[in-house]
Amino acid sequence: MNRFVVTGGNPLHGTVKIGGAKNAAVAIIPATVLARGKCVIDNIPNISDVTLLLRILTEMGATVRMQGKKTVEIDTTHLVSHTVPYNLAKNMRASYYFIGALLGRSREASVFMPGGCNFGVRPIDQHIKGFEAMGASVDIDKGMINAQAEQLRGVHIYFDVVTVGATINVMLAAVRAKGLTILENVAKEPHIVDLANFLNSMGADIRGAGTDVIKIHGVDMMHGANYSIIPDQIEAGTYMAAAVATGGDVRVENIIPKHMEPITARLLAAGAQIEEGDDWLRVFRTGRLQRINVKTMPHPGFPTDMQPQMAAMLTMAEGTSIITEGVWDNRFKYVDELNRLGARITVDGKVAVIEGVETLTGAPVKATDLRGGAAMIIAGLVARGSTEIEEIIHIERGYEDVVEKVTALGGDMKRITLPDGELSKAL
Ligand code: EPU
């Protein structure tokens, strides 16, 4: 079993280059099935979710070629399948973007119910509502979601909740529907705008992405395009929180500072100092970490995907911080693991109360999910002694080259392989 061993005590110092945004990449890669022709996508993050999506495309009959580490050429002209089977869909959420994209391309899609991080129930009713409104029939048989349509027609859809997944999935189908689709109460995350820009570069006609209303005029044909994915807001925020937690001084490069505002605002309130350039931020802390309250909300609110990392950072703050989760029903599974390291956190429903402590102490913990795993790395970097993190498969789904990046910043972190149940000698 693979683990990370993180030994705390070194403030992070130096420069880290941020990779392409995971949640944009996992929408843009399935979107390539809408093109007749080659797409060349740059700034692809080196993460296992991307590897899996490229494998799904290959198994469907697409030609996929890496050009170096960060660029991929995808040609879906000769796709032969419109099915994503259980073994490929079960481990990731974004596999369901093939429903919208394949409906758009060929009016037919069969995709196994998606996996991904477990935050309690993750319904897909809004996706189905959108597809059905456009004229598709959708049924779920033995875990397989089957969607088909004679013709997709443009319609007016009001989403009952603000959802990233349904906004993306319905956009993917609507670009090829007949007529005008108006989507209201949509998600506004930077990766929604990035996907819209990519689709427009392929010949789609989408306006309003990044606002509450998206208008899409369906087109008959979409062609290949060259595109570069936006930087990962959450990867950048994670290194910023690690810098602040360890009392370090880190410059995060290759970012869009505007996307970081909801995060920088809370880090400043907690006592961080931040300098800004065109595509970088310098984050450092000299004084004591201060208590703050954080409430997660859809963009432009504080992102839920930074919630566990903030909690890890605030374990060391002076006073009691309160985190309210405003997006997911159950995103505090990682709290038990932080408490194993000596944190003092209690959870009541969607609220976590964090009493700051003087020190954390290294212990064996597990990554309960992707961002919960990132929280373990941050806590491990501030803890006394070594923290061994199990189930790192979750972390590697979404953080590229994390050991190399943390080590380059002076953190003590290794990836090891040990038989199940055994602990490394470091503990
Ligand atoms: N929801 C519904 N019905 C639906 C869809 C969603 O009720 O049909 C609810 C969910 O239960 C949740 C809320 O709406 O309470 C928001 O869910 P959303 O659809 O926005 O989430 P998602 O698309 O499944 C994406 C990211 C998550 C991130 C959320 C919120 C991807 C692949 N995943 O999930 O990212 O937490 O948006 O921003 O883009 C992560 O990167 O760690 C991660 C979990």
pLDDT above 70 covers a percentage of the chain that reads 99
Residue closest by Cα to atom 7 of ligand 1: 123
427 pLDDT tier (thresholds 50, 70, 90): low
Residue 421: pLDDT over 80: no
Q: Please enumerate in sequence order all residues whose Cβ is within 8 A of that of 180, keeping only pairs 6 or more positions apart, or say none.
A: 154, 215, 216, 217, 218
The predicted model gives 365-381 an average pLDDT of 98
The string of DSSP codes covering 313-382 is HHTTSBSEEEEE-SS-S---TTHHHHHHTT-EEEEETTEEEEE--S--B--EEE--SHHHHHHHHHHHHH
Q: 3-class SS at 64? A: strand
pLDDT mean over 265-282: 98
Residue nearest to atom 40 of ligand 1 (CA): 305
Q: How confident is the model at residue 63 (pLDDT cuts 50, 70, 90)?
A: very high
| Rounded average pLDDT over 172-181 | 98
Starting at the edge strand found earlier in the chain, the sheet holding 2-7 runs 364-366, 386-390, 2-7, 412-417
User: Looking at residues 308-331, what average pLDDT do you find?
Assistant: 97
- Which residue minimizes the CA distance to atom 27 of ligand 1? 305
Q: What is the DSSP letter of 229?
A: P
- Please list every protein residue whose CB sits less than 6 Å from any atom of ligand 1: 23, 26, 93-94, 117, 122-127, 161, 163-166, 187, 304-305, 327-328, 370-371, 398
Q: Is residue 68 very low, low, confident or very high in pLDDT (cuts 50, 70, 90)?
A: very high
Confidence of residue 395 (pLDDT cuts 50, 70, 90): very high
Residues 329, 120 contacting (CB under 8 angstroms): yes
Give the SS3 label for residue 131: helix
Averaged over 153-168, what is the pLDDT? 98
> Measured between alpha carbons, how far is 84 from 77 in angstroms, rounded to an integer?
17
What is the pLDDT, as a whole number, of residue 120?
A: 74
How many Cβ atoms sit within 10 Å of the Cβ of residue 14?
A: 14
- The DSSP letter of residue 129 is H
3-state secondary structure of 222: coil
Q: Quick one: what percent of the chain has pLDDT higher than 90? A: 91
Which residues make beta-bridge pairs with 295?
324
Kindly give the distance from the C-alpha atom of residue 173 to the centroid of ligand 1, in angstroms, as a whole number: 18
First-to-last alpha carbon distance for the chain, in angstroms, is 16
Question: Separation of 201 CA from ligand 1 center, angstroms?
Answer: 26
pLDDT digits (tens, 9 = 90+) for 78-102: 999 988 888 888 878 899 999 999 9
Residue of the nearest CA to atom 17 in ligand 1?
A: 163
Q: Give the tens place of pLDDT for each residue, 5-42.
A: 999 999 999 999 999 999 999 999 999 999 999 999 99
Residue 420 confidence (pLDDT): 72
C-alpha triplet 173, 115, 397: angle, nearest 5°: 100
Mean pLDDT of 156-166: 98
Query: Phi, psi (5° rounding) for residue 418?
Result: -135, 155
> For the ranges 218-222, 383-387, 412-416, 418-422, which has the lowest average pLDDT?
418-422
Q: Catalytic residue at 39? A: no
424 vs 293, 338, 367, CA distance in Å?
37, 19, 17
Quote the ligand 1 centre to 168 CA distance (angstroms).
11
Type of residue at 301:
G
Nearest CA to ligand 1 atom 2: 123
Identify the pLDDT of residue 331.
Answer: 96
Burial class (CB in 10 A: 0-12, 13-18, 19+), 137: exposed
Reported as a single tens digit per residue, the pLDDT across 183-239 is: 999 999 999 999 999 999 999 999 999 999 999 999 999 999 999 999 999 999 999
**Tokens coding 110:** 């069969």
CA 305 to ligand 1 centroid distance, Å: 10
Substitution candidate for ligand 1 out of 95, 122, 324 with most atoms within 8 A of CB: 122
- Confidence tier at 114 by pLDDT (50, 70, 90): confident
Instruction: For residue 94, give the ligand 1 atom closest to its CA.
Output: 32
Nearest to 242, CA basis, from 375, 402, 363: 375
DSSP letter at 11? P
How distant is the alpha carbon of residue 220 from its chain centre? 31
- Give the per-residue pLDDT at 418: 80
Average pLDDT (36-59) is 96
Q: Contact, 188 vs 210, CB < 8 A?
A: yes
Q: Please give the single-letter amino acid code of residue 398.
A: G
Alpha-carbon separation of residue 45 from 63, 272, 287, 392, 395 (angstroms):
19, 28, 34, 17, 13
* Annotated active-site residue in 6, 62, 117, 376: 117
235-260 pLDDT, tens digit each:
999 999 999 999 999 999 999 999 99
Whether the CB-CB separation of 121 and 332 falls below 8 Å is answered with no
For the cut 60, the answer to whether the pLDDT of residue 426 exceeds it is: no
Average pLDDT, the chain: 95
pLDDT at 91: 79
How far apart CA 255 and CA 235 sit, in angstroms, is 10
Q: Whose CA is nearest to atom 42 of ligand 1?
A: 305
- Output the pLDDT for position 126: 97
- Closest atom of ligand 1 to 369 CA is 42
Q: To test the ligand 1 pocket, which listed residue (163, 189, 328) has its Cβ within 8 A of the most ligand atoms?
A: 163
